[in-house]
Structures are given as C-alpha cells and as structure tokens.
Amino acid sequence: MTTTDDTATTDPAADDLAAVGVHWDLDPLLDGFADVDAALDEVDRMADALAETGRGRVGDMSAAELGAFHQRYAELLDLQTRIGSYASLRYAVDTADPANGALVARVNERSTRVGTTLLFVTLEWAATSDEHAEAILADPEPALDLVRHHLRSARRRRPHLLSEPEERIDAEKDTTGVSAWNRLFDELTSAIECPTDAGPVPLDRALSDLAHPDRARRQAAHASVTAGLEPGLRTRAFVFNTLLHDRAIDDRLRHFPTWVSNRNLDNEASDESVQALIDAVVGRYDIPQRWYALKARLLGVERIADYDRMASVATSASSIGWSAATEVVTDAYSSFSPEMSSIVQQFLREPWIDAPAGPGKRGGAFCAYTAPSHHPYLMLNWTGTSRDVSTLAHELGHGIHAYLSRDRGIFEMSTPLTLAETASVFGETVTTNRLLGMIDDPAERLTLLAETVDDSIATVFRQVAMNRFEDAVHTARRDEGELSTDRFGDLWIETQRAMLGDAVELTEGYRSWWSYIPHFIHVPGYVYAYAYGQLLALSVYRRYEEQGDAFVPRYLDLLRAGGSLPPQELAAIVDCDLDDPSFWDGGLAIIDAQLTAAEEAAAAAGRI
C-alpha cells in the first residue's frame, strides 16, 4: 500500500479532519507479476509478437483479422497502462522520493520503446484507402465492436502524421523532451513551500486559506503564496517557454493551423465550434463581474481583491471531517441512483483513494482511470474545508464514469476531454442540490449558493480566461520569442482583467500566479474543456429536473458508453444537441439563474 507521512494522533477528531490513514493500495495493479520490470518484459514480448504478425498487413486486413489484431493490442495496452498507473500514482503522492521519479522514468523509457515498435499500426491504418477503411468500419464483425469508433477517429489524423522514421524519432525523443519537462515542472511545484507564522506549508494548504471568511487570513495567504512562488519563478517560466516553443515546432511540422488545433482534434471538436463556446462565455463576462460586485457587499468591502474571490461568505469558518463529508456525498449519490451510490461506497470502502495533504504530494485532485481490467483511483489533498466536499463529489463523478465505462475496453473507455468533466460536474450538482433541499436557514442557503456560483464561475469563466491567457502566450511566444516573467505576468493580468472588469482589484503579487498551474504544462489547450463540460453537465442536469427518474437509465447509458461515439452522439443519449448554436447560451443562463438565487438568498438573510 502506498502511504504518505501522515500518522494517527491521539485525537480521533483531528485525524478525521485531516483524513489520516485514507490511502490507496497500488499493489494490485501489478497482480501476476513479481515486479514492474517483469511486467514490462511481458509488454515487450507482446509488442514483438504484434509486430511480427501485423507489420505490413494492417492496411489490408479483413474486418475479422483487424478485430482480432486489436484485441491482442488491447491486452498489451491494458497491461502497459496498469504499469504506467502504478509508477505515476506512486510518484504523485511523493514526488520528493528519487526512487519514485526513477521508476517513472524507467517505465516511460521502456514504454516509448514499445510505442515506437507499434507505430506501424497507426500509420498503416491511416495509409489505407478511404474505400477500404469504410468497408471495414461498416462490417458488422463483432470483434470490431470495441474499436470501431477508435479506428474511425484515428483516420482524422491522416493530414498531420509524419513518416514512420520521423514519428519514431519524435516518440524516442519524448522521454528527454516534453515528458522530462513535465516531470521537472511537477517536482518544482511540489517542492514549493509557502511561509507562514507557523512555519512553511505546502502550496495547496496555503491556497485553501483563500476561502477563509477572515480577510486578514486571506491577505496573509495571498502574501504567503506569492512569496512561495517567487524563488523558482524564472525556472518555471523557462520550462513554460520551452514547451511553448516545442508546441510551435510540432504544429509547424504537422501542419496544424493554430496552437489549439491539435487539442481540438483529440477532443473531436472543430476549431470553429470551440471558438463558438469561447465567444459565448466571453460574451457573458457580465456574470462574474455581477457576482464579484455582490460578493463585495456580502464581505463588507467597496471592492474585493483577487485574494477575496474564493472567500466564503459564511460569517464564521467551519471545517468538516472525512467521515461527515463521505456521508454527505454518499447520501447525495443515493438520492439519484442506487447503482451510483454502491460504486461510491465501494470507492470509500476499498483502498482506492489517497486523501491527506502532505509534503511532496502533487497538488490538486484527480481521478486516474487506470485500465479496463482494474478500477480507478482518486487523489485528493484533503484540508477539511467545505470546498473539499465538492472536490470529493467531483472526483467521485469521474470515478463512477471510469468504473462504468470499463466494458468499452482500452480503446474506447475514455471520452474526449470535452465530455470528461460531465459526470464530475453532474455529481457536484447532485450533491449541492441535495444539500439545498435539506437547508431552510437563509444564511446557510446563501453560503451554499455562494459556493455553487463560485464553482461555476471558476469552472466556466476562469477557465476560459485561462484559455485566453494560453492563446496569448502561445501567440506571443511564436511572434516575439522567449517570454520574460514580466511578459507572462502582463498577459496573465490582461486576460484576467478582461473577465473581472472593475469588480476585482488585481494586486501586484497576483502577476506570478500563472506559474503553478499544471494544465498549461501537461495538457496545453485543455482548460476550455472545463467550461465545455460544466455547461454540458448543467444542461444534462436540467434534463434530469425535467424528466425525473426516467432520465437516470439514459444518464447511466451515457457513462457506460465512454468514448465509443463522437461527442455529438454521446450528448444525444441524454437529449442534448451540441450542434445547436444556442446550446451554450442555455448553460450560461443556468449560471445566471444560480446567481439570481444567491442574490435572493442574500436579501432573505438580511446581508444586502
């Protein structure tokens, strides 16, 4: 079992508040093998066997042959994914341990060798004629059922593929290129310590104080985070500059018209449809500005500062322990679906979650899907805040999605990123609305509604503002060359101010806060998918409100479908039309309604 350095105390309440002892067990990922290297040896053997029987034949295989070949390929990828998950999850909870970093490097290097051995599969399938490909994909051969959409989608990359020798070089160099820079960034940010009167604390713990109701505490947290970010700022900027330039080179060689086109292709979304989403959100920047003006009144200040944005409007600070939080979330999922509730209970009962915050642990929270033959894992950084409850509900939504989609197999288990947030945001919404139904006190309702609006604005508007920052820095790096930390800061403030208007004061210290955000480094272009997923999930929840229990089976069908269909067809399962130009406006109207409800609650509570 993987552990961090938290230990139980003689105070059970304090232990519960810190989720002490809530750790995952990663050893089952290697079941059947003595160690990682033995498992990697088996992957090598499987890759060589696939190459021996498939090289030079993929483009000419019959439907039955191609299906059987991909079934064996799926077995390889399943095992390889389990090994990679084992290494990366060990590293996530303790990035400071050199052995964990070395394990990740070894797995990546050997996996790259396998990837280059099997490059021919993608290239030969892309090279076959449209007529042959369509005939294969139209064949009802059952062996193709778990790979049909994957094969169809892979054909979309034809204009952007290089020759096999070039693709081999690109893959081989990845371990000393993008992957290496990603790992360096993780180690740099995981090591950030923020100074406080009680001694240095990890970045995530300092950031959690930005939700504290005491403004002096928030101001201190802001100063602490800013001070913690300063020592390695130039190094993180260099990492970012290098990866920005690497993306520019890749886009040029692969003939992508914009910096985000590659990501859009992965997401099965056109550049035009993504721009329509961004334009719709930017066109409603009045919503966050209206909310932050209201929040200033609730907090008793003329204008809030950047460190006030996530402040709780509660009149006193409250903490919640792991036991109470899990009860709340389990009850919320039970109110929607017994099947989903049973999956939640399994996550909480089994060692599938690593919850406590700790030094050297990667920041934030995530769900690792792992492989169809295994179960997902959740990583949290639990600090006992009410926002942590929302995060737990969110990540459990991911976990349920991953758990239910396993039957689609390794090629079609995961959705495009544009739908990846649907189940998580839906789970958060179910939890919030369950709690709202239990609360009569206007002040308590205001607190919860305020958190809901905060989360919607953070997920939709802030993520689109970050997309605008990414657009600005990718463009500037290509036009101007290497960017200074001041230039990064200028672009960060400009794109944040566009969203916030005059409603929020942006402080000088906030200029460096772009530098710890992992999405810019690990998954360039990803952040708009949060807005896409949030607005889609809100629309899906609206369908549930309209249709009641009859909606639940179709929602579960959506989750089980994984990534086996294009996004438009997946959304159609729950009666959502992504091709409707007004679709995004509907989701934005729901957030507007959330804000109106918060205004009404504030008035009922006598706060405005």
| pLDDT confidence band for 1 (50 / 70 / 90) | very low
Measuring CA to CA, which residue among 235, 218, 361 is closest to residue 301? Answer: 218
596: its two tokens: 């109106």
DSSP 354: E
Q: Is residue 259 part of a domain?
A: no
The pLDDT tens digits for 375-403 are 999 999 999 888 899 899 999 999 999 99
The pLDDT tens digits for 240-267 are 999 999 999 999 999 999 999 999 999 9
CATH number for 119: 1.20.140.70
Measuring CA to CA, which residue among 534, 599, 602, 546 is closest to residue 574? Answer: 546
**pLDDT greater than 90 at residue 80:** yes
What b/e sequence results for 203-239 when a residue is b if at least 16 CB atoms lie within 10 Å of its CB, and e otherwise? bbbbbbbbbbbebebbbbbbbbbbbbbeebbeebbbb
Q: Is residue 143 part of a domain?
A: yes
As a whole number, mean pLDDT of residues 127-142 equals 96
Q: Is residue 142 part of a domain?
A: yes
Measuring CA to CA, which residue among 8, 18, 6, 120 is closest to residue 73? Answer: 120
In angstroms, rounded to a whole number, what is the distance separating the alpha carbons of residues 373 and 407?
9
| pLDDT confidence band for 236 (50 / 70 / 90) | very high
Judge whether 552 and 543 are in contact, CB under 8 Å: no
**pLDDT greater than 90 at residue 93:** yes
409: its two tokens: 């197999």
Residues 6+ apart with CB under 8 A from 596: none
Residue holding tokens 């950084």? 381
Q: Is residue 46 part of a domain?
A: yes
Helix axes 442-456, 583-604, angle to 10 degrees: 150
In angstroms, rounded to a whole number, what is the distance separating the alpha carbons of residues 538 and 567?
16
C-alpha to C-alpha distances, 13 to 294, 323, 330, nearest whole angstrom: 36, 10, 20
Q: Which of 63-72, 415-424, 431-440 has the highest mean pLDDT?
A: 63-72
**pLDDT greater than 50 at residue 63:** yes
**pLDDT greater than 80 at residue 317:** no
Q: Is residue 153 part of a domain?
A: yes
Q: Is residue 384 part of a domain?
A: no
What percent of the chain shows pLDDT beyond 70? Answer: 98
- Number of domains the chain contains: 1
Q: Is residue 86 part of a domain?
A: yes
Handedness of CA 390, 395, 398, 399 (dihedral sign): negative
User: What SS3 state is found at 574?
Assistant: coil
pTM over 0.95: no
User: What SS3 state is found at 24?
Assistant: coil
Q: Is residue 185 part of a domain?
A: no
Helix axes 386-404, 338-349, angle to 10 degrees: 110
Domain ranges, residue 70: 21-176
Burial classification of residue 339, based on how many CB atoms lie within 10 Å of its CB (0-12 exposed, 13-18 middle, 19 or more buried): middle
Please, how many CA atoms are within 13 Å of residue 292, restricted to the half-sphere of its CB?
26
